[in-house]
Amino acid sequence: MERSILGAILGTLFGISALGGLAFIGASPNPVPGKPEGNWRLLDPVVYENITIFPVVSSSTQDTSPFLTLDEGLSSGEVIVSEQGAAGLARTRDGRPIAVPQYDSGASVNQLVLINRSKRPLLLLAGELVSGGKQDRIIGKDRIVPVGSEPLPLDVFCVEHGRWTGASSQFIASKTIVHPSVREQAAVAQNQNEVWDAVRSGTKAKATAAGVAGRPAASPAPLSAEVIGDTIATAAPTQSYAKIYEQSRAGASVDTFVEELRRRFDRATLGLKGERVVGVVVAYGGDVAWSDIFASGELFEHYWSKLLRSYAVEALARPTYRETAAITDAREFLRNLNGREVVESEPGVYRWRETTEGRLSLIELEAIAPKTMTLHRLLLHRTS
């Protein structure tokens, strides 16, 4: 009798457990395991040529409206970026003059001066490009610049090797994020020579020999090192990133690729109910390689055009394999890492954390004020 009662109780408990598990799977068919956010979900992949993009959606996002982006700040004149040692005046969008103090004795390849005169903290992402000065540069690291801060020495990397002159010391918004091979060298390797090499070569990813593990042979990349070399020789003698990948014949081929990829992505994410796209996981061939995820759908939308173009450039530069990444691989890619951790912070403003496990690197930018939230999560499979 006692055994019979015990068996009934256990049977009921197992039944409840099983039903609970089924309910969870039904509510979120592609949940991302091991994430404290708990409600990220991967949609079916968007596939075109050798790139696969998995939209990441969430049913709850943060309020990121208190933050100003670099493009917004430079366009309005509320943010000023200039060469070191450049004293003078700049003007806001409504014509008001703003003094630019001389910060140092002379210009430096890897450091600029940034002034945030807005009433909002400024969000910077590694790989964002600013044009002008003595040569074009990219932001070296994700960070937040608080309201009312003193002129800030800003770490940058050059993406225009052949120029060291300019009519103005000021920089303007380029509305560009460099593609993953270049961005990796800035955000993770933090090596100027590797940044230049990635700009010249297109990609740092290496082709795998045909036949290894059954992988089919790769087709030649439309943006091979040879094509980029010809572009530099004919249209971009200063090795300007913008002229190579946006303003040349090579850039025109990127435009066509982006247009089709955007059309497929928009169709795949149309009609979401109660969810917003907050990020993506990106694969090239069968290799899951990259992920950008933001705290809100609004923040993702602000960066999406720049990011999409950057992923397309990388796809056109990488070897073209006739493979498609599986959604199970994308989910596994987003797991929390367990490895060496480096943390940097500015008290009361932000915390930057890098976790490295094998060839994976995870960079998280956490805002501390006005409330704690992870504004940006970058995860990549390093190519070097």
What is the model's pLDDT at position 156? 98
Mean pLDDT of 139-164: 95
Number of domains in the chain: 1
| pLDDT one-digit tens code per residue, 6-29 | 444 344 443 333 333 222 222 344
| pLDDT one-digit tens code per residue, 359-371 | 999 999 999 999 9
pTM given for the model: 0.86
Which residue from 243, 216, 225 is spatially nearest to 318, judged by alpha carbons?
225
What is the model's pLDDT at position 100? 54
| pLDDT one-digit tens code per residue, 271-320 | 999 999 999 999 999 999 999 999 999 999 999 999 999 999 999 999 88
- Domain hosting residue 176, numbered range: 32-207+216-381
What is the model's pLDDT at position 216? 64
pLDDT at residue 212 is higher than 50: no
Mean pLDDT of 68-96: 79
What is the model's pLDDT at position 187? 96
**Dist CA 54 CA 90 (whole Å):** 42
What is the model's pLDDT at position 85? 81
Q: Is residue 375 part of a domain?
A: yes
Q: Is residue 319 part of a domain?
A: yes
Mean pLDDT of 234-249: 93
**Dist CA 11 CA 33 (whole Å):** 28
Q: Which of 63-67, 322-326, 358-362 has the lowest mean pLDDT?
A: 322-326
Band the pLDDT of 220: cuts 50, 70, 90: confident
Q: Is residue 14 part of a domain?
A: no
Mean pLDDT of 150-171: 94
Q: Is residue 70 part of a domain?
A: yes
pLDDT at residue 98 is higher than 60: no
What is the model's pLDDT at position 221? 86
**DSSP assigned state of 111:** E
Q: Is residue 303 part of a domain?
A: yes
DSSP secondary structure, 265-306, as one string: HHHHTTT-SS-EEEEEEEEETTEEEEEEEESSHHHHHHHHHH
**Dist CA 85 CA 64 (whole Å):** 34
**Dist CA 137 CA 140 (whole Å):** 9
* Mean pLDDT (the chain, rounded): 86
What is the model's pLDDT at position 265? 98
Q: Is residue 104 part of a domain?
A: yes
Q: Is residue 192 part of a domain?
A: yes
**Dist CA 19 CA 380 (whole Å):** 36
pLDDT at residue 124 is higher than 60: yes
| Residues in the chain, total | 384
Q: Is residue 26 part of a domain?
A: no
